[in-house]
Structure 1
Amino acid sequence: MGPSSLADLRDGLEAGDLSATFLALGCLDRMAGLEPRLNATVFQDSGLTLAAARAADARLTRGERTPVLGIPMVLKDNLHWKGAPVGNGSRIQRGYRAPYDATVVRRLLEAGAVPVAKANMDEFAMGSSGEHSASGPARNPWDTTRVPGGSSSGSVVSVAAGYAPFALGTDTGGSVRLPGSFCNVTALRPTYGVLSRYGVTAMASSLDIVGPVAGSARDLAAVLSVMAGPDPLDATSVDLPGRERLGDLRPRALKGLRVGLPREYFGEGIDAGVRDVLETALRDLEAQGAELVEVSLPHTPFAIDTYYLINTSEVSSNLSRFDGVRYGARAASDTLDGMIAGTRDAGFGMEAKRRILLGAFCLSKGYYEAFYLKAQKARTLITRDFAAAFGKVDVLATPVSPTTAFPLGERTGDPLAMYLSDVFTVTPALAALPALSMPAGFASGLPVGLQLIGPSLSDVPLLELAHAYQRITKHHTEAPRLDS
């Protein structure tokens, strides 16, 4: 049995065959049984969860209907849910509880979704593997000796393991898409601005975006329909064209669809098993009438350098606020400078420190133009590459990762090897484009994802395309065997 279908649960709730309380209790029981093996969550409160479930049941009894009413959800631990801890995977945040709801969380709560847990994550969303967390690494449910991908590790594992039919993560350079590929779930990075960032802990502000995770494109669409829309609390938020189509997602016609294959994404470095899975998936699209067209994104070789220069610079700026003065952990000291230095030294993990230092260097006098400014110019060139490609094709199809999930600990001592995990996911993030990872098959028993990238604000057609693919394949219905 695959991850719980949001659509099926909604039908059961509306028919009166299920109750929100029954579903919530089932989620809590499943987490209690599996968490010692998976470490996907960092906070649960059965009182808060069951209160939300009972309120949802009362609304269902009154005949109310929304796409997520009574449906369990898991929230990444950098999203504010009033009254719950916001740990960001870091020691420096211990003791801090959210005084308000993030906009996306508030919209889901108002629609009746039931939070069952906060999810484990790489510290401040910095990581590709799920190993950089003060709570210890989350584990891949397909093979618990392997990474689940990061930084939204716990959110994706929660869906793959059947804790909830959907979860919220965030995606800065691949943080829902990479674990989506590694764990066989469907994950969306929306167009930058489609989802409000209010109430999301900032890491790299020009790149961060909330990313929903679910068992299918159809379920993702239902969640997105509730969250999307302009927010006066986020000046970068925008409206989503075609949002009315999300509630009843229809498959996109594949006949005549021009699918671009960037030659830079299909060269050396991709594992043979991953390549075989992707070639089969592309043949499936072609068999339905899609036209495969080779295109070029010539500045792709500069993407990793560009991304990490911008990312670390913005990290250095955003994380300067965590100093022990106002909230969170505080180190004892006789001086203010000593307290701040001690708090940051004890509170941040190694990857956070590495990026803060790199970013401070990139922004320092004498280096700003050579590094940060040059990276911004390269970002413009990468964005123009995509614009040129979309003049020839409707959508791009690429790998999500060069490999399947790798063993825990394999890359923690080699930051460059870890960063290269993101080689196919950072480019649409730099260009502020929507990108989706969906299950495409298995290589040596491990999941492989196919990435679809669309033009700006083509989120709805992108989901419709993924839905069409999932109507002709069953990869997304496969689930790890965890109960044996």
Structure 2
Amino acid sequence: MTLLHDLTVAQLATKLRQKEVSAVEAARHFLGRGRSHRELGAYLATDEDVTLAQAGAADRRIAAGDTAPLLGVPIAHKDIFVTKDFPSTAGSKMLEGYRSPFDATVVRRLAEAGTVTLGKLNCDEFAMGSSNENSAYGVVKNPWDRARIPGGSSGGSAVAVAARLAPAATGTDTGGSIRQPASFCGITGIKPTYGRASRYGMIAYASSLDQAGPMARTAEDCALLLSAICGPDPDRDSTSLDVPAEDFTRALGGSIEGLRIGVPKEFLAEGVSADVRAAVDAALAQYEKLGAKRVAISLPRTELSIPVYYIIAPAEASSNLSRFDGVKFGHRAKQYGDLLDMYRKTRTEAFGLEVQRRIMIGTYVLSHGYYDAYYLQAQKIRRMIADDFQQAFTQCDVIAGPVAPTVAWKLGEHGDDPLADYLADIFTLPGSLAGLPGMSIPCGFGHAGMPVGLQLIGNYFQEGRLLNAAHRFQQATDFHLRKPEGVL
């Protein structure tokens, strides 16, 4: 008999509709899983009373005949989304104990779809990081090897799904923060086209890059969740696109015969470890067996994506985080002299080193005399990177390659070298800068038995095509079904 926590979202939803299990039973089971695996550091906040009340409401809807596809399914939210029933900290001491008076749009839409919230998940502070070592509330540990990082910034979300502490979770992706932890933890995650999912209620890092998306075990599960998440939100989010919500599950099951998969030569160049390259090559060979065609392409400005991103994102962060000054909300220093002293002590006490580093970089590149030299030039190259993708899509339908150059590294390994973390994002940053949809699917295992993810990138609004390509791969392989030892 399959254990409850080994069911996918789709499988669990079916059992809930058929009343083989109740939403309350499912919620209790996953709450217990979370308590028994506290050592992973995935959860920051839970409230059993709130969760069971939501589950009870879902059971009543099911009893009344409601057949919504996600009704009663328990999920957890990255702590970058504000929630009225749980604290919202963004992994920072700056917002310790903060409770929002409203839910983020993504949270609200999933609640309306009938999901049950298990709690809030750990993340790098203000979503700044690639390892989930930057949280003010402790590191998150990869369940495949607890001495290794889970990836970031959505590390808590990835670990919760990989360790079967939740069937699915929300994440956010600014420069790869859904795809990279999904790859490192052996799960599936998708970032939709920028503007597809509302940013209202997402605590901002870099506003022109931040995008919400689901993390789950399968492409089918991600399709179910993405269908609930996406849709216009013009009254709350000015960057929300006027593109109707759609049922992404309808795209699943289609043939991929003749699908042109572009493989950028820059994505498999020097710097990619042999184990990652082997897993990606094997995945591409599997696609060819399924009828797809491999096409050699080039994204010539791939290397420029790192300096471009680490100018634009910190610039936007320095602006977005200026509101956290101790005046209206958040942490305030207990002892200070004048107003400037309060600002300085408040921000020094409450912001971690990585957040301080990015604020200072951003302030510098936006300062008088440097704006034109750095920020404007970065925006110009960003447009060129987007143009490179459009040129590539004249030759292929989907772009594929590794998510990261290596598997997950050891905790503390990059502690004295933040640039090493930045370089790990080289393959996810270009798609983020262009605002394209991208996803990671498990495609094998590398050094020390750690998971390897295959990145799929589509053209604007081609989430359905990506999800179908991922789904067909998962029908032919079992990487997405494997789970870490010690989380039975």
- TM-score of the aligned structures, taking structure 1 as reference length: 0.98
Q: Is 1:414 aligned with 2:417?
A: yes
Residue equivalent to 1:449? 453
Q: Which amino acid aligns with 2:226?
A: L
Q: Is 1:388 aligned with 2:391?
A: yes
Secondary structure of 1:480's counterpart equals coil
Q: Which of residues 408, 430, 438 is equivalent to 2:441?
A: 438
Residue equivalent to 1:344? 347
Residue equivalent to 1:237? 240
1:48-69 CA distance string (max 9 Å, x none): 1011001101111101121211
Distance of 1:247 and 1:421 partners within structure 2? 32
Q: CA RMSD in A?
A: 1.2
Distance of 2:109 and 2:249 partners within structure 1? 15
CA deviation after TM superposition for structure 1 residue 335, in Å = 2.2
CA deviation after TM superposition for structure 1 residue 289, in Å = 1.4
CA deviation after TM superposition for structure 1 residue 299, in Å = 1.1
1:32-56 CA distance string (max 9 Å, x none): 1111x20001000001101100110
1:193-227 CA distance string (max 9 Å, x none): 11000000010000000021011000000011111
Residue equivalent to 1:136? 138
Residue equivalent to 1:362? 365
Secondary structure of 1:78's counterpart equals coil
Distance of 1:220 and 1:424 partners within structure 2? 21
CA deviation after TM superposition for structure 1 residue 239, in Å = 4.6
Gaps of 5+ in 2: none
1:417-471 CA distance string (max 9 Å, x none): 1100101000000000000100001113110000000001111111111111111
Q: Is 1:171 aligned with 2:173?
A: yes
Off by >4 Å, runs of 4+ in structure 1: 239-242
CA deviation after TM superposition for structure 1 residue 248, in Å = 4.3
Check conservation: 2:227, 2:245, Cα contact below 8 A.
no
Secondary structure of 2:424's counterpart equals helix
CA deviation after TM superposition for structure 1 residue 252, in Å = 3.4
Equivalent residue runs for 1:196-215 within 5 Å: 196-215=198-217
Distance of 2:481 and 2:308 partners within structure 1? 36
Q: Which of residues 106, 119, 124 is equivalent to 1:117?
A: 119
Residue equivalent to 1:80? 82
Q: Which amino acid aligns with 2:47?
A: D
Q: Which amino acid aligns with 1:154?
A: G
CA deviation after TM superposition for structure 1 residue 188, in Å = 0.4
1:304-335 CA distance string (max 9 Å, x none): 00011001101111000001111111102242
Residue equivalent to 1:105? 107
Q: Which amino acid aligns with 1:422?
A: D
Q: Report how many residues are paired.
A: 482
Secondary structure of 1:301's counterpart equals coil
**Cα distance change of structure 1 residues 215 and 206 upon mapping to structure 2, 3 Å threshold:** same
Distance of 2:167 and 2:224 partners within structure 1? 11
1:150-197 CA distance string (max 9 Å, x none): 000101111111111110010000001000000000000100011000
Q: Which amino acid aligns with 1:206?
A: S
Check conservation: 2:213, 2:226, Cα contact below 8 A.
no
Residue equivalent to 1:261? 263
Distance of 1:140 and 1:380 partners within structure 2? 36
**Cα distance change of structure 1 residues 242 and 353 upon mapping to structure 2, 3 Å threshold:** closer
> How high is the sequence identity, in percent, across the aligned residues?
49
CA deviation after TM superposition for structure 1 residue 242, in Å = 8.1
**Cα distance change of structure 1 residues 142 and 328 upon mapping to structure 2, 3 Å threshold:** same
Distance of 1:398 and 1:278 partners within structure 2? 7
Residue equivalent to 1:30? 33
Residue equivalent to 1:156? 158
Check conservation: 2:314, 2:362, Cα contact below 8 A.
yes
Q: Which moved more, 1:276-285 or 1:248-257?
A: 248-257
Q: Which of residues 476, 480, 483 is equivalent to 2:484?
A: 480
Equivalent residue runs for 1:278-427 within 5 Å: 278-332=280-334, 333-427=336-430
Distance of 1:394 and 1:249 partners within structure 2? 15
Check conservation: 1:132, 1:351, Cα contact below 8 A.
yes
Q: Which amino acid aligns with 2:438?
A: A
Q: Which of residues 266, 271, 276 is equivalent to 1:274?
A: 276
Check conservation: 1:243, 1:460, Cα contact below 8 A.
no
Residue equivalent to 1:459? 463
Q: Which amino acid aligns with 2:465?
A: P
CA deviation after TM superposition for structure 1 residue 251, in Å = 2.3
1:276-312 CA distance string (max 9 Å, x none): 1111000000111111010011111211000110011
CA deviation after TM superposition for structure 1 residue 483, in Å = 4.0
Q: Which amino acid aligns with 1:469?
A: F
Gaps of 5+ in 1: none
Check conservation: 1:3, 1:215, Cα contact below 8 A.
no
Q: Which amino acid aligns with 1:293?
A: V
